[in-house]
Structure 1
Amino acid sequence: MTQACAAAPAGRTSGHLTPQLVEWLDAHADAIDTGECDPGAVLPPLVEAGVFRWGVPAQWDGHDGTDIGDAIEAVAELGYYSMACAFVAWGHRVFIEYVLHSPNRELAQRWLPALMAGRVAGASALSNAMKFLGGIESLQITATQDGAGWRLDGAMPWVTNLRPQGFVVAAAVRAPDGRVAVVALPHDVPGLERSADLPLIGLQSSNTAAISLTATPAGADCLLHEDARAYLPGLRPSFVGIQCSLAIGLARRSLDEARRAAGRGNAPKGILAAPLEDLSARTAALADELVQGVRSGRLRQTPAALFKLRIELADAAAQAVQLELQAAGGAAYLRGRQPGFARRLRELAFVPIVTPSLVQLRAELARHEGTF
């Protein structure tokens, strides 16, 4: 049975999260993961605390002078406390990025104010398109001509932040002329059906569900871009970069918890000091390489390097959780003795499978011998 999670007051700190939001996250992280928190209560505190203002131009109520690197760091800081919240934030923030870079300025005028205010949730169903561009998967939505517009048929099997109170979802479709376009579909468009929330083992209050489309109308007013091949490669560093924030946040938290556990004498004195120091330095270096590579545009030109970073950060998160377990010892296997550890184990299980999955990325990298 879900419970209403009290809203977190807004404010501003020297980091990317407010102290009020951190307090709220600490209080509700386990409930959000297990679904005991009303999923509809997750997005509003993030909006109120300004999480989505990082890297957004001031004209759209963003933090002036910040960039996509700040957005990556903000979501990583969320992931330190709750991967479910970070996952919701990823979906909402990358949708904002899609709209910011869309040539359809009427669409931007229509959706950006609502997205920034949290009146509507942004959802990204473009993992299929990103995999399609890499030759990993075929497109799952097709369009047929219907007068001046299209009718869409297909499915989006796994989409997060599908807030029942109102959402808009980005999807790639194969147009009647064979090109691939990207559209933004509101929750109440005819023919769009949202499933019940998927029965996940964690991240349950993330409004993650499936969508089916049956003769769904789509006109020029919902077109994010008419050519996904021209549009999506430029967005891929933001898409994958913010996705990497989930692993960064988890690795940082488990490393900190491992230090605390080792300090309590749960492991022989000093035995984990070197591994903790080495992994902390490696995680910091990988996170910095990611942020700087996205900021500079280098990772747009070298997507293989971007995907390798995703794999290495996932490996770092896995090692960090294992170090936490080793440092805490048997206490980690007892309820309440190592708070949050069971949640972090479930969170870790999600890192390799968020699409494109690590298996898919490794297979594609091997097929192309390190290049895309």
Structure 2
Amino acid sequence: MTATHPVQPSSRFDDAEAATGVPALADYPERDLVVRLAAESAARVDEDDASPFETLRRLGELGLLTRGREGSLLPQAAVIYDLATECMSTAFSLWAHRSTIAFFDAVGRPLPEGLADGSVTGSTAMAAAFKDAAGVGEIAVTAEPTDDGYLLNGVIPWASNLYAEGIAVLPVITTAGHKLIVTVPTDASGLDVKPMKNLLALDATASGFTKVTDVHVPATDVLSDDVPGFLASVSAPFLLMQASFCLGLSAAALTSARPYRRSSNGVFTEDFDDREREFERLSAELTRLAADPAAAGRRDVLQVRLDTAHLAQAAAHLELTVVGGRGYVADSPTARRFREASFLPVQSPTEGHLRSELRNA
């Protein structure tokens, strides 16, 4: 009897390899432009010689920063994914900006002028709210009531897109212990931003530590006084858009590595098969959850966010391993992806935060 070998199901990387491109999460008419613009600026952004918003504002002119505000989030997730295949900093900056838009949508507020097209930047300084809700941190900005609003004091340990004339959204806690979500201009008097530089990656994302000293917030700039309800509304888009850039980075790393699939006498073939199967699984799961984020289960969203981060790290490691010395050159795309992936365990919600929530879910 002649032995037969099972036929492996084809992967999207088979088609991508033939087309010398990266597999899409979802197709849309502007996809080639999105990828091209990100690729053209990736090296300069990585070197902090260009801002991600040079690309994002061009996309904003085409309405690509406000996809999926109602119904399926997949159209926006696909844009973030595609940006990440070429430049994680640009994808990350869009995630932070688009999350800010989601915060206004969650409470039915109209968007401030300029937020939709990126001419005004959105900064999500919400890590403390998510940590506080999960019991792994505390809100570090206090709000003292005044006649017409609140006076804020404290610190924001990390936020991104901290450009002048932008809008930041953050949690605060009043002197009576009530928690609120407020919005503050990024150039408000009393906001002292200390830029974070010399990062392994994402140096161009305008990230920093912020000291908050007697910053006045009028009552009209309180987005919500129901923090649990607010977080329940925004968590799925917040996390699914993060999963999108994790998956985009994975796709680029696996595509770059694939020509070396049978290097070293094929000892990495099984690793490729494992990573590509995981990519297919997570692409399907992210697509399912993004199709109806309002109905997405909390545990499912947390798990896909953690799993896509793990895949990005594994894919970037595999790429560096098989590409070899050329990938170790600091300004190579391989090295850039390896550095970008190293950020994911500390990206809020951190790996520890995610694992803690999943353990208790």
TM-score bracket for the superposition, by shorter chain length: 0.7 to 0.9
Cα-Cα RMSD:
2.4
Task: Indicate conservation of the 8 Å contact 1:39/1:207, yes or no.
Answer: no
Question: Which one of the candidate residues 349, 353, 358 is aligned to 1:360?
Answer: 353
How far apart in 2 are the matches of 1:273 and 1:228? 48
> Which amino acid in structure 2 is aligned with residue 152 of structure 1?
L
How far apart in 1 are the matches of 2:130 and 2:88? 22
| Equivalent residues in 2 for 1:230-269, closer than 5 Å | 230-262=229-261, 267-268=263-264
Deviations 1:211-251 (A, max 9, x none): 22111111222111121111111210111111112210110
The two structures have a TM-score, normalised by structure 2, of 0.85
- 1:204 lines up with 2:194 in the alignment: no
Residue range with higher mean Cα deviation, 80-89 or 175-184: 175-184
> Which amino acid in structure 1 is aligned with residue 134 of structure 2?
G
> Which amino acid in structure 2 is aligned with residue 256 of structure 1?
T
- 1:27 lines up with 2:40 in the alignment: yes
Residue range with higher mean Cα deviation, 242-251 or 22-31: 22-31
**1:323 paired residue number:** 318
CA shift for structure 1 position 182: 0.5
Q: Which runs of 5+ in 2 are unaligned?
A: 1-25
Deviations 1:72-115 (A, max 9, x none): 22111111111000110001001011111214x3xx25x1x411
The two structures have a TM-score, normalised by structure 1, of 0.83
Deviations 1:344-369 (A, max 9, x none): 11101111110111022223433x2x
| Equivalent residues in 2 for 1:193-232, closer than 5 Å | 193-232=192-231
Residue range with higher mean Cα deviation, 87-96 or 229-238: 229-238
C-alpha spacing 1:118/1:299, structure 2 compared with 1 (3 Å):
same
- 1:73 lines up with 2:101 in the alignment: no
**2:177 paired residue number:** 178
How far apart in 2 are the matches of 1:189 and 1:284? 45
Residue range with higher mean Cα deviation, 198-207 or 85-94: 198-207
How far apart in 1 are the matches of 2:176 and 2:330? 57
| Equivalent residues in 2 for 1:275-354, closer than 5 Å | 275-297=271-293, 300=296, 302-334=297-329, 339-354=332-347
Q: Aligned pair count?
A: 336
Deviations 1:179-211 (A, max 9, x none): 211111112333222223443221111111222
> Which amino acid in structure 2 is aligned with residue 293 of structure 1?
L
Task: Indicate conservation of the 8 Å contact 2:77/2:290, yes or no.
Answer: no
Q: Which runs of 5+ in 1 are unaligned?
A: 1-12, 58-65
CA shift for structure 1 position 131: 1.2
> Which amino acid in structure 1 is aligned with residue 355 of structure 2?
R
**2:57 paired residue number:** 44
**SS of equivalent residue, structure 1 residue 115:** coil
Percent identity for Structure 1 against Structure 2 = 25
CA shift for structure 1 position 341: 0.7
Task: Indicate conservation of the 8 Å contact 2:200/2:340, yes or no.
Answer: no
| Equivalent residues in 2 for 1:85-234, closer than 5 Å | 85-103=90-108, 105=109, 108-109=110-111, 111=112, 113-164=113-164, 166-234=165-233
Deviations 1:27-63 (A, max 9, x none): 2212212212246635423323533131136xxxxxx
Deviations 1:95-146 (A, max 9, x none): 011111214x3xx25x1x4111222100101111011111111111111111
